[in-house]
Structure 1
Amino acid sequence: MASPIIPTRPYRDFMTPALHRRFMSASIYTFGLCYAIAIWMGQWDSLLWAVFPFGPVGMRALLLFIPALSVYVLRVSQWHVGKRNYATPYKTFTEMALSINTFATLAIYSFSAWFYGEVYVWSRPGEARLGFTDQGKLYERIKLNERPLYLRYLFIALAVAQAVFHLWKDYDTIDVPGLKPKQERKETDSALAPKSKSTSDRLIQKCYIIGPRAFWTMIFTFVGGNVVYFFGFRWVLWSWYYWFMRFGISLAKASKPTGLPPFFNLVGMFAAEGFLLALLWDFTNVTFDLYISEEPLKKDQPITSDSKDPNGSLLNGLKSKKGQVNNIAFWELAMITDRFDARRKSLFGDLERKKGPTYEQVTNLCLKEIKNVVNRIDNVLGAPASAAQAQPTNPASLALIPRISEPLKQGQIIAPEPLPTTRLGKLDTITSKIARAHSSPQNAADSKARELLKKGQTQLTEGTRQAESFFTVWQARFVASPIGWPWRNCIRRIANSIINGAPYSRQSAIMNAITALTNLTVASLREDEYGQFKDKVPEIIRQFSEVITKIEVYMQGLEVHWTDVDCLAKPEAQRKKIPEVDAVLDSLKEGLERILRAFNEYLGNMGMSRQEIMEAKKLVGKQNKEPQMVEVGG
């Protein structure tokens, strides 16, 4: 039990050291790559000095680690859990284009490329002709050299391309898995289950992907960068370069670019070093992803096990408003309820807390995460009217002042003309109606005008329909083209943003909360010595049932937008199958099934009606109606 005297340490006090240890492991691999690149940049005059760490190679490796370290700093400051969720790519662009993170990404990659380029340029001998000036012949005046300008420009262009890929693919996302409720396992299951691969093994597999990716990044930069350089940007760069260098070198008042011969030698330099720089960036990002996304364990135990109040520190993480901390805490909670029996049992016995027992706080936090799904759906579909809106308003309650006049009359206000009573008056009325209908000299003209007006209105309506049809056809063609891709309303994006949250997906936290509740509920039959958790079981079942029903109703009513050409190209039965939504729905049904199976004979005595139990069982039964292949032996 938690002692009220012992202060509870924040969850970040355990998560941050764990991340530091992983960061150091990732840095060791990255420094090894920097050391290999430093050997490649060497002169190779002496084999010993080409690989000896305490010399030029070691110093060059330390300098090359600075570009990689700057990318690590960028990732540490911007990493988040969950993919971006916006309705359209255009919405993503408008939200991210002018953000601080975008400018920081461009600045960090530009600095990294510039520093790498400087290390390479200053490591080259004089024969490479990468100095600022070209001495030329003895009788010629000193000329400004364009070759280092061109090479530095390509390195910066490579940084821009890498930053675009970084933002487009959202490299800042860290994949935190959402654990699913598991069926009852046998004792031999854990021994027969295949062991997960180590981080180093996964890193080796990733190297087969990042190599070709770095190569194509270099090719794309070389082609696109040369088009921009030689078709207008060359003179702008040269004028700035020449104006700046005149402060330190005696040059003529005006000059033009001196050229890039030998050009193919310069191309070879960028092809090799551009590829290695892109490889270093990708390797840095991959190592960060792999090591930061490791399980929240220390010595095969949950990271909060070192705390004097483990459950209190875990509760602090679950209550954190920072998405990174909150998601990792839910991941640890799901793992505790699934794999660590002693720690799971302590959640039931930790009763002496100011804000309630540990199991109650954990249950409320998990239910809150699941209820947010219902809230997001209600915000879209429209929440049911409140009691105040549903009840009719009592007119007497609105009579705040006495009435000082008669209420307004309803119906016709102007009285009709009195009917004539004499024979002469009746005859006059009849003749007046006949005269007004037939005696006007403009009747023929008015009839013709009405006919022309009706014809004009018909033509106008037809022209409007043709214009709308023409506009609709070309609008559909524009959206279907690659140029119109940013404006497509994808059903997958829309469903994810509602079910899993926005701007970043909360899918892992939702699934881990479902798993934690399921495991705690089932384990309470054996481990809850005081029998207090049973009061939470009906609420959990009702909440699971409500969320399943809400998601199914929402997905049934969700229509595919006409701009979602990729979805419309699929068969109609496949259009609403969203993998992320299906994962959440399957977790809810599997969890509900386990709870119903465990508490089936007790639910009636726990306050649940027969109708509620039957409805919950129907929701679970839907997933078991798919036909299964049966193998028949002969």
Structure 2
Amino acid sequence: MAAAVRRSPYKDFLQPALQRRFATATLVVLATAYFEALLLARWSSWLWSWFPLGPTGFRAALFFLCGIFVIILRISQYHPGIRTSDSPIATLVRYAPRWTTFETLFTYALSAWIFSLVYLGTVPDDAGFERITYFTYDRARLNEKPIFLTTHLVLLGIYQGVRHLYSDIDRLSLGTAQPSNGDSSKATGEDGHVSTQMRRFRDQLPKIVVHSLHQSVMGLLLSASLYPLLLRDLLWRVNMTMLRPLYSLPRTNVPPANLPYSPSTLLRCLAASVMVMFAWTAANTAFSLLLVKSPLKNGKPLTADAKDPNGSLLNGLKNKKLSIKCFAMWELAYIARDFPDRRKAIFEDMDRKDGPMWSQVYKICLDTLHTLSSNIDAYTAPPAPATTPQQAETALGDKPRTSAPPKEDHIFAPLPSNKSAFRTSVSSAFQNAALAGPGGPPASLSPVAKRTLHAARSRLLEAAAPNAEIEVTPSSFFRELALKYVLSSPLAGYPFRQTRRRRLASAVLGSPYGEPSLYVNAASAVSGLAVSSLREDRYGHVQRDVASLIRELTSLGEKLNAFVNEGGMGKHWTDVVELEGEDKCEEVEEVVNAVKHALKRVIVAFEPYARDLRLTRGEVKKAREVAGLEQEVEVREVMPEMVQIR
């Protein structure tokens, strides 16, 4: 008996590819560091000003350390998918207490501090940035300019860390392998080639420069505002305490009267800010571009060189880690679109432990798409009612009750309206006062007396009614207060506003992360394999599942369309400010269009064989409506392309 072929895990092929991409991003950081080191060179010697083993190389190594911190941070925190939450304040509450938040802020602050030390060491002596200055009689004085520059760069690092967390820079925007206009364009490997990614990085350089300049100006304004208000006295005392044992400094810790905000100082701070911001932005851009290359190697799928390519691919598709599963699904979509040999291998792979390869791929893709429906059901499901505890009699037995049983009314039920309660009390009090006399109520009243009593009571109630018409509850009061003073403001109400875009992403893509490319590639892969089976499935195993595939895609497409486009997701009461782009979610729209396009491909290819697939005319008509097709195709009586399985 032949030995079973070892199935290598999918990560054995993905990890080397990712490591090569990490190395390429590191080279970009090194080139950026060497370029900035050249900018700070004094060019007093034609050799040592640029030679890597001289002072320039030492500065480049330290600058490289500042950039590599960002790469290490990205490696430890990268994730596919967008963060899904109903409001920004919900995102803040969920992610702010985590260790990764402190790690991000500390990484950028440490990188900025190291950069400030290197930059101060390269500033010319006549710039006035030495730590100790000497005036008359050789008396040493502490210079505030380097203190402000270092503080500014550290604050800029914290500011960049906050922007990093707010913009979710750690997210990887994975691609898709959808056919364009129904045609399958062959994958040549250019999307995953290093030269293509470097060309894209080069095209991003002007944007990186503009972004660095803009953020540097914002950071300088922030530092100039916070430094004298919060940090100046403390930092001055700390520096005086540390340097007084080394220099003959004054005993007083009072800072100078003038702030170090001269034009030359601010220009130096701005130049240093642009350099360090450029290093950070270049590192982040290179990492984001290079890591999301297509799962191809030399124009072939990553698992092409495996001993068991289908088994390794299945291992990735079944992996519980979202990043590995997304890359494996992306590779499957490429196979369904561009690689007929691998498609035939999937159709002909029958002797697997858990069933044929096609059956497992079909189930995995449909389970992935069913997640969308499950997410919608979970989001729209009403909260479970609170369970009432059993009565004490069931546990202690029947005993004689000595008091009235407890009330079972809802304790949080609203009180009767002020209007009805007031009217009832006034009416009863007025009638009792009228009927009561010195000797008690009379036995009866005359008709005239009754009419007079009724008219007086009505006039009194009408006069008191305007004061008791409006019912005010605490919830309605605070809601009106929030709508009037907080949510109506575009800036103040932003953290609490639950926009339709955010709620759509949470409802459809799930939480805490939702990766649209996973669902797009799943729909593209299963539909592409089904359509290709007409020519490449020699045994006709795929056609057994075509009818159920059409029904599942029809049901899912109808549910998504009803929820997203037909009012299934209403407008939240906090969404009171009309902002452009907040009404639609691009990621959800991409998923909806992918499901619709997959259904269109399958129904166009298999509608002529609907009778043999046991699809009714109603099912075909419904599928065409969901897919957006109009004209019907005549059903063929003879189907030589298909193999009927009885």
Is the structural similarity TM-score above 0.5?
Answer: yes
Give the corresponding residue for 1:581.
Answer: 588
The answer to whether the 8 Å contact 2:329/2:522 transfers is: yes
CA RMSD of aligned residues (A): 3.5
Tell me what 1:255 maps to. 253
Aligned to 1:364: 363
**Counterpart residue identity of residue 532, structure 1:** H
**Separation of aligned partners in 1, 2:234 and 2:191:** 58
SS at match of 1:354: coil
What residue in structure 1 maps to residue 6 of structure 2?
Answer: 7
The 1-side partners of 2:82 and 2:450 are apart by: 74
Instruction: Give the match for residue 604 of structure 1.
Output: 611
**Cα distance in 2, alignment partners of residues 340 and 566 from structure 1:** 49
How big is the shift at 1:145? 2.8
The 5 A counterparts of 1:428-467 are 435-436=443-444, 452=460, 455-462=463-470
The alpha carbon displacement at 1:364 in A equals 0.9
Aligned-pair CA distance for 1:52: 1.6
Residue 145 of structure 1 corresponds to 143
Deviations 1:360-391 (A, max 9, x none): 111111111100111112223449x9xxxxxx
Could you list the per-position Cα deviations for residues 472-524 of structure 1 after superposition, in whole angstroms to 9, with x for gaps in the alignment?
A: 48724632311111221211111122122222222100000000001110111
Post-superposition CA distance 1:567-602 (Å, at most 9, x none): 4x77xxx99654333322222222112212222233
* Larger mean Cα displacement after TM superposition, 129-138 or 221-230: 129-138
> What's the offset of the Cα at 1:327?
1.0
Partner of 1:478: 486
Pairing 1:160–2:158 present:
yes
Once the two structures are superposed, residues 314-372 of structure 1 have per-residue CA deviations (whole angstroms, 9 ceiling, x without a partner) of 11111111121111111111011111111121111222221122211111111111001
Letter in 1 for 2:575: D
Q: Which moved more, 1:259-268 or 1:223-232?
A: 259-268
Q: SS where residue 134 of structure 1 aligns? A: strand
Show the 5 A alignment for 1:268-283. Answer: 268-283=267-282
Query: Residue 605 of structure 1 aligns to which amino acid in structure 2?
Result: D
Match status 1:136 vs 2:143: no
Distance of 2:369 and 2:241 partners within structure 1: 62
> Could you tell me how far apart the structure 1 residues matched to 2:628 and 2:269 are?
62
Q: Percent identity?
A: 31
Question: TM-score, length-normalised on structure 2?
Answer: 0.80
The residue type equivalent to 1:558 in the other structure is: M
Residue by residue over 1:372-415, the C-alpha shift from the partner in whole angstroms, topping out at 9 and shown as x without a partner, is 111112223449x9xxxxxxxxxxxxxxxxx9xxxxxxxxxxxx
Instruction: Decide whether aligned partners of structure 1 residues 64 and 381 sit closer, same or farther in structure 2, where only a CA change above 3 A counts.
Output: closer
Change (3 A) 1:470 1:307: closer
Partner of 1:529: 538
Give the secondary structure class of the aligned counterpart of 1:8.
coil
For residues 524-545 of structure 1, give each alpha carbon's deviation from its aligned partner in whole angstroms, at most 9, with x where no partner exists: 1222222222222122111101
Distance in 2 of aligned mates of 1:366 and 1:166: 33
Query: 2:173 maps to which residue?
Result: 175
Partner of 2:378: 379
More helix by share: 1
Change (3 A) 1:173 1:456: same
Matched with 1:561 is 572
Q: Which moved more, 1:251-260 or 1:283-292?
A: 251-260
TM-aligned CA distance change 1:220 to 1:590, over 3 Å? same
Is residue 2:153 matched to residue 1:122? no
Q: In the TM superposition, what whole-angstrom CA distance separates every residue of 1:255-300 from its partner, at most 9, and x where no partner exists?
A: 2224666833322221111111101111111111110011111111
Q: Which has the higher contact order (CA 8 A, sep 6+)?
A: 1
SS state of the match for residue 563, structure 1?
Answer: coil
- Alpha-carbon distance change, 463 to 519 in structure 1, aligned in 2, over 3 angstroms: closer
Distance in 1 (alpha carbons) for counterparts of 2:261 and 2:182: 71
Is 1:513 matched with 2:513?
Answer: no
Q: Give the Cα–Cα distance (whole angstroms) in 2 for the partners of residues 36 and 533 of structure 1.
A: 57
The answer to whether the 8 Å contact 1:181/1:518 transfers is no
Residue 217 of structure 1 deviates from its aligned partner by: 0.9
Q: Is the 8 A contact 1:319 1:326 kept in 2?
A: yes
Structure 1 unmatched runs, 5+: 386-402, 404-431, 626-634
- 1:75 matched to 2:74? The reply is yes
Change (3 A) 1:442 1:523: same
Between 553-562 and 507-516, the greater mean CA deviation after superposition? 553-562
CA distance in 1, matches of 2:169, 2:322: 17
Shift of 1:445: 9.0
Report deviation, 1:40: 1.5
Could you tell me the TM-score, scaled by structure 1's length? 0.82
- Tell me the amino acid that sits aligned with residue 615 of structure 1: K
Counterpart Cα distance in 1 of 2:545 and 2:455: 80
Deviation at 1:32, TM superposition (A): 1.4
Aligned to 1:312: 311
Instruction: Give the structure 1 partner of residue 415 of structure 2.
Output: none
Once the two structures are superposed, the pairs formed by residues 263-342 of structure 1 within 5 Å of their partners are 263-342=262-341
Task: Name which of structure 1's ranges 467-476 and 20-29 shifts more when overlaid on structure 2.
Answer: 467-476
Amino acid at match of 2:69: S
Question: Judging changes above 3 Å, is the alpha-carbon distance between structure 1 residues 172 and 600 closer, same or farther for their aligned structure 2 residues?
Answer: same
> Aligned residue pairs: how many?
569
Secondary structure of the residue aligned to 1:352 is coil
Aligned equivalents of 2:340, 2:479: Cα separation in 1:
65
**What amino acid is the match of 1:559?**
G
The 1:218/1:262 distance shift into structure 2, 3 A limit, reads closer
Q: Is the 8 A contact 1:84 1:505 kept in 2?
A: yes
Residue aligned with 2:162, SS: helix
Tell me: CA distance 1:609–1:136, structure 2 relative to 1, closer, same or farther (3 Å). same
Code of the residue aligned with 2:570 in structure 1: it is E
- SS in structure 2 opposite 1:143? strand
Question: What is the rounded CA distance, in whole Å, between the counterparts of 1:161 and 1:289 in structure 2?
Answer: 20
Q: Distance in 1 between matches of 2:534 and 2:353?
A: 26
1:16-31 matched pairs, under 5 angstroms: 16-31=15-30
Partners of 1:181 and 1:590 within 8 A in 2: no
* 8 Å Cα contact 2:505-2:514 kept in structure 1: yes
3-state SS of paired residue (1:138): helix
CA distance in 2, matches of 1:592, 1:264: 64
Question: Which SS does the other structure have where 2:514 is aligned?
Answer: coil
Aligned AA (1:560): K
Contact preservation (8 Å) 2:112, 2:157: yes
1:241 matched to 2:239? The reply is yes
Instruction: Provide the secondary structure at the position in 2 that maps to 1:5.
Output: coil
Structure 1 residues 260 and 454, CA gap change in structure 2 (3 angstroms): closer
Letter in 1 for 2:555: E
Do residues 202 (structure 1) and 195 (structure 2) align?
no
Query: C-alpha separation between the residues in 2 aligned to 1:438 and 1:281?
Result: 95
1:603 CA drift (Å)? 3.1
Question: 1:249 and 1:351, CA in 2 relative to 1: closer, same or farther beyond 3 A?
Answer: farther
* In 2, Cα distance between equivalents of 1:164 and 1:575: 23
- Corresponding residue for residue 83 of structure 2: 84
Partner of 2:548: 539
Name structure 2 gaps, 5 residues minimum: 385-397, 399-439, 633-646
Question: Offset at 1:35?
Answer: 0.8
SS in 2 for 1:483: coil
Partner of 2:637: none
- Deviations along 1:391-444, one digit per CA (max 9) or x if unpaired, are xxxxxxxxxxxx9xxxxxxxxxxxxxxxxxxxxxxxxxxxx99825569x9998
